[in-house]
Amino acid sequence: MPLTEREIIRKYQQRSAMNIAEQILLSIGASTDEAYRDAMFSTNVVEELLGQPSAISGFIVPLELGSEQQLTSFFLVPYFGACIHYPPPPPNQLIYVRVDSHMKIPDINIAYTVTGVLKHGLYEDIVGTSAYQLDLISIELFSGQPDDFRQHVY
């Protein structure tokens, strides 16, 4: 996400344990902040990343299947459960990944690292819209440290 949008979203994320009154006030603030609403639907991308070979980690949401139930495309999402629960993440947090050689549907409960060249391009599906696209070169199990709770947009 572009830095300005990360800062807007960070403003409304829980930073630590909050009592219910603080949570309600934070939610009210987010619901009335036009910049926050815009950031949650943004298709703005980080231009410096485009055209660059990239390795990006996240979770897989299968989109299209070919013959013999082989995966041909999927969304790479920043956290477990994204796109399965409404609303989906902002478009600039989703990557539409195209698979040249069909692959078996991976376990959607674990994270993967995909590599390819990141491009700008909208892809719309009933489960979400992505602002990025990537032609898959390789995929492997994620081997890094897990994200901290609610830190997925950074």
CATH number at residue 120: 2.40.50.870
Nearest partner of 109 among 150, 146, 54, 61, judged by Cα: 61
More confident residue, 17 or 33: 33
Question: Is residue 76 domain-shared with residue 24, that is, in the same domain?
Answer: no
* Residues ≥6 apart with Cβ < 8 Å to 102: 66, 67, 68, 70, 71, 72
Domain residue limits at 107? 48-141
pLDDT in tens, 39-73: 988 999 999 999 989 999 999 999 988 877 788 99
Q: How many CB atoms lie within 10 A of CB 124?
A: 10
Percentage of residues in the chain having pLDDT higher than 70: 88
In the numeric block, which tokens belong to residue 50? Answer: 């485009």
The pLDDT tens digits for 6-26 are: 888 888 876 677 788 988 888
Looking at residues 76-96, what average pLDDT do you find? Answer: 84
Number of structural domains found in the chain: 2
Partner residues linked to 134 by β-bridges = 97, 118
| Whether the predicted pLDDT of 147 surpasses 60 | no
- If asked whether residues 69 and 135 sit together in one domain, one would say yes
**Amino acid making up residue 65:** L
Co-location of 104 and 70 in the same domain: yes
Higher local confidence (pLDDT), 68 or 120: 120
Whether 152 is covered by a domain: the verdict is: no
What is the CB-side half-sphere exposure of residue 29 using CA atoms within 13 A? 13
26 shares its domain with 64: no
Q: Is residue 151 part of a domain?
A: no
In this prediction, residue 152 carries a pLDDT of 46
Same domain, 137 and 81: yes
pLDDT bucket at 107, cuts 50 / 70 / 90:
confident
End-to-end CA distance of the chain: give it in Å, rounded.
8
Higher pLDDT, 144 or 47: 47
